[in-house]
Structure 1
Amino acid sequence: MSEPGDLREAVLDDGREVVVKRGHAPGAAAAEAAGLRWLAAADAVRVPAVHHHDRDRLVIDRVPAGRPSPPAAERFGRGLARLHAAGAPAFGAPPPDGPVQAWIGRAPMANVTGDDWAAWYAEHRVLPYVRLAVDAGTFGPAEAAVFERACARLPASDEPPARLHGDLWNGNVLWDGREAWLIDPAAHGGHRETDLAMLHLFGCPHLDRVVAAYDEAAPLAAGRRDRIGAHQLFPLLVHTVLFGQSYAGQALAAARTLG
């Protein structure tokens, strides 16, 4: 969710090409650096190395440009399964040295922990954004009630907390011609199906191969497709808060899939 003015390319003294990213708020660059390092520590999917960060700026490797391919998509699926399996201390856990009050794009995101996925997801990944959308006039009381009913019907889960990228839309998956790279995380502990649901929501090259390879490496519980709407509530509500009415209908439709 970066804007063009936030980024510039540079070359280090040793010849390495990097990207310099300006944080949109104090501490945002440090939060992103913590997320990138946490994802990299899993040694599962390629992540740009962090060369420097301070209060306002982040300097990371520039990802070489390439095209996605079916073999790369399958490697990405298997790598994403390993990333999720690296785990997190709890649902909502921030990366080590990451802030509790973090961001997804330019929207606030609270990394408050919980042990029960459905209760945590409702309290910290759905209802805060419903309240923000109500405050902005995008939703009224009737629409808010739809989301409250959906939260009461979230599927129970005994999945352990996964190490999530957290903002896994197509624009944050780059391809170098051989491998996929992950950028711009909103990393936290969560349900692994939430990352996958975001890939479904915004598209991903060779998505069927990505998911098939993931499912082969780390089989998903039966009925996953029926739960996609529940896991898409989070990104759809974030986009409603950031971009307004254009996503409000999709968010309501996802909520109504839960009854």
Structure 2
Amino acid sequence: MFRKHRRGAPAGFFACEAAGLAWLRVPGGAPVVGVRGVGPDHLDLDLLAETAPSRAHARALGRGLAVTHDAGADRFGSPPDGWSGDGFFGPLDQPLPMPAGDHDRWGAFLADCRIDPLARAAERRGVLGARDLELLDRLATVLRRGDLDDDEPPARVHGDLWSGNVLWTADGAVLIDPAAHGGHRESDLAMLALFGLPHLDDVLAGYQEVHPLRHGRRHRVALHQVYPVGMHAVLFGGGYVAQLHRLLVDVLS
């Protein structure tokens, strides 16, 4: 067993994560770590023995992730079954609130529940200048107009699927530490690309076998990376601020 522990964790922090793991566990979907118990200051999980990633396991991860996404959600922003209210995003020692939503359009959800809260947090902490705050406001306006919407229904997404939340075992890849909600499937895929998941091309190939992606996905990666990179800028500053600026310019150009 592995115990994830933090004294003084925000109320419901570990219960929210446990609900997200249960919600993401769907037949044929991407494997998620098993939960053994949960309390106000801890989460007990199956102990995983890590090994080197393989292309076969990466392809299987892609197929499973497509199945998980296809399990769907009620609305964009819906929290996982068994949890109500906002979720959390960020490291264990300083998680930030991740607002839930009840939206029928992804663009409006992204603007209301991700871009606007990101801008407020960045302004409050003084990590972004006036130019980048203006770009975030412009992006929110574009999203609310529906300019970047498509016909994708809400997907059942992990929500924080960077490479560190994919553990490779002898039986295949296992997902940990979700910020699960109803979102856009390409957001999880863009997160996998953000910090360089091994064998990402094989993951994407496996995904396409189950759910072919809409044409032009590569051009939309920057849009889906704005929120996670922006939150890293809020939490850690440094090079993430410049990276966020480049993403915003790319999306709005």
The answer to whether the superposition gives a TM-score over 0.5 is yes
How far apart in 2 are the matches of 1:228 and 1:48?
27
Is contact 1:118–1:156 with CA below 8 Å preserved after alignment? Answer: yes
State the distance in 2 between where 1:256 and 1:131 align. 19
What amino acid sits opposite 2:66 in the alignment?
A
Aligned counterparts of 2:167 and 2:30: Cα–Cα separation in 1? 11
Alpha-carbon offset, residue 43 of structure 1? 4.3
Does residue 1:214 correspond to 2:207, yes or no? yes
Q: Show the 5 A alignment for 1:27-176.
A: 27-105=12-90, 106-154=95-143, 155-176=148-169
CA distance in structure 2 between the aligned counterparts of 1:222 and 1:130, rounded to whole angstroms: 30
> Secondary structure of the equivalent of 1:257?
helix
Contact 1:69 1:177 in 2 (8 A): no
Q: Which residue number corresponds to residue 199 of structure 1?
A: 192
Q: Alpha-carbon deviation of 1:228?
A: 0.6
State the one-letter code of the partner of 2:72. Answer: G
Cα offsets for 1:108-147 (capped at 9, x unmatched): 1011221111111111111211111111111132221111
Counterpart for residue 22 of structure 1: 5
Percent of residue pairs identical: 44
Provide structure 2 residue ranges, at least 5 long, that are not aligned to the other structure: none
**Equivalence map 1:216-231=2 (5 Å):** 216-231=209-224
Q: What's the CA shift string for 1:56-91, capped at 9, x where partnerless?
A: 111110112111101000000000000100101110
Q: Is the 8 A contact 1:112 1:124 kept in 2?
A: yes
How many residues align? The count is 242
Map Cα deviations across residues 182-203 of structure 1 (whole Å, 9 max, x no partner): 0000000000000000111111
TM-score relative to the length of structure 1? 0.90
* Residue identity matched to 2:206: A
Whether the aligned pair in 2 keeps the contact of 1:69 and 1:178 (CA below 8 Å) is no
**Is the 1:89–1:161 Cα contact (8 Å) retained in structure 2?**
yes
Query: Match of 1:236, as an amino acid?
Result: V
Mapped to 1, the partners of 2:213 and 2:17 lie a distance apart of 28
Q: Alignment partner for residue 231 of structure 2, among 238, 243, 246?
A: 238
Q: Which shows bigger deviation, 126-135 or 20-29?
A: 20-29
For residue 41 of structure 1, give the secondary structure of its aligned residue in structure 2.
coil
Moved more, 43-52 or 215-224: 43-52
Deviation at 1:25, TM superposition (A): 2.1
- C-alpha deviation, 1:156, in angstroms: 1.5
Give the residue type in structure 2 aligned to 1:177: A
Distance 1:256 1:142 in 2: 11
The Cα offsets for residues 17-56 of structure 1, whole Å up to 9 and x where unpaired, read as x111114322111111001111113541111211111211
Establish whether residue 185 from structure 1 lines up as the match of residue 178 from structure 2.
Answer: yes
Structure 1 stretch 216-225 or stretch 185-194: which is displaced more? 216-225
Unaligned runs of at least 5 residues, structure 1:
1-17
Alpha carbons 2:19, 2:83 under 8 Å: kept: yes
RMSD: 1.3
Task: Tell me which moved more, 87-96 or 99-108.
Answer: 99-108
SS of aligned partner of 1:175: strand
Deviation (angstroms), 1:216 = 2.2
Task: Give TM-score scaled by structure 2 length.
Answer: 0.92
Whether the aligned pair in 2 keeps the contact of 1:68 and 1:178 (CA below 8 Å) is no
* Structure 1 CA distance for aligned equivalents of residues 227 and 239 of structure 2: 15
User: Does the Cα contact within 8 Å between 1:91 and 1:120 map onto a contact in 2?
Assistant: yes
Is the 1:89–1:189 Cα contact (8 Å) retained in structure 2?
A: yes
| Residues 3 and 45 in structure 2, CA contact (< 8 A), matched pair in contact too | yes
Alignment check: 8 A CA contact 1:84 1:164 kept: yes
Contact 1:162–1:189 at 8 Å: present in 2 too? yes
